[in-house]
Amino acid sequence: MLAAFATLDFPLTDVQVFHTDRGSEFDNTRIDELLDVFDIKRSLSRKGNPYDNAVVESTNRLLRKELVYRNHYTTIEQLRHDLNDYVCWSDNRRLHSTLGYRSPKEFTEQGLVL
C-alpha cells in the first residue's frame, strides 16, 4: 500500500482524505504514520457496513468515467477546478435514480431519507 503513495505525481500534502474499508491490509502502523505526517484524514467504512465502501467505490468509478478519462490534466489545479465543478453539478443538478430522479440537494431539501 505504501508503494501506491510513491506513484503519485503530486505532493502528498495535496491529499486531504484517504478512504479505506476496514480490511487488514489497511491496519498498518506505517500507513497511519504516513497519514499523520502529511495531515491526511482517514475515512473508514463503519464496522460491519460494507455498503459504506460500495458508495465510495461507485462514486470513484463515476468520477473516473465521467471526468478523469474524458480529460487530460497537466496540473493538480486543473483537476481540482474540474472536480469542484463536477461535484457542484452532481450535488445540485444530476438526477439519481436511487433518489427518485431527484438531485441530492433536492432530495435533502425535501427531508427525504433512503
More confident residue, 70 or 8: 70
Q: Examine residue 100 and state whether it is found in any structural domain, yes or no.
A: no
Q: Count the alpha carbons within 13 Å of 91 in the hemisphere toward its beta carbon.
A: 9
The per-residue pLDDT for 3 is: 82
Q: Examine residue 96 and state whether it is found in any structural domain, yes or no.
A: no
Q: Examine residue 12 and state whether it is found in any structural domain, yes or no.
A: yes
Q: Examine residue 59 and state whether it is found in any structural domain, yes or no.
A: no
Averaged pLDDT, 96-111: 92
Q: Examine residue 15 and state whether it is found in any structural domain, yes or no.
A: yes
Q: Examine residue 92 and state whether it is found in any structural domain, yes or no.
A: no
- Which DSSP category does 96 fall into? B
User: Strands, E, within the chain: which ranges?
Assistant: 17-20, 41-44
Q: Examine residue 6 and state whether it is found in any structural domain, yes or no.
A: yes
Q: Give the structural domain span for 8.
A: 1-49
pTM score: 0.56
Q: How many domains does the chain have?
A: 1
Residue 96 forms beta bridges with which residues? 102
Alpha carbon distance 63, 103 (integer Å): 17
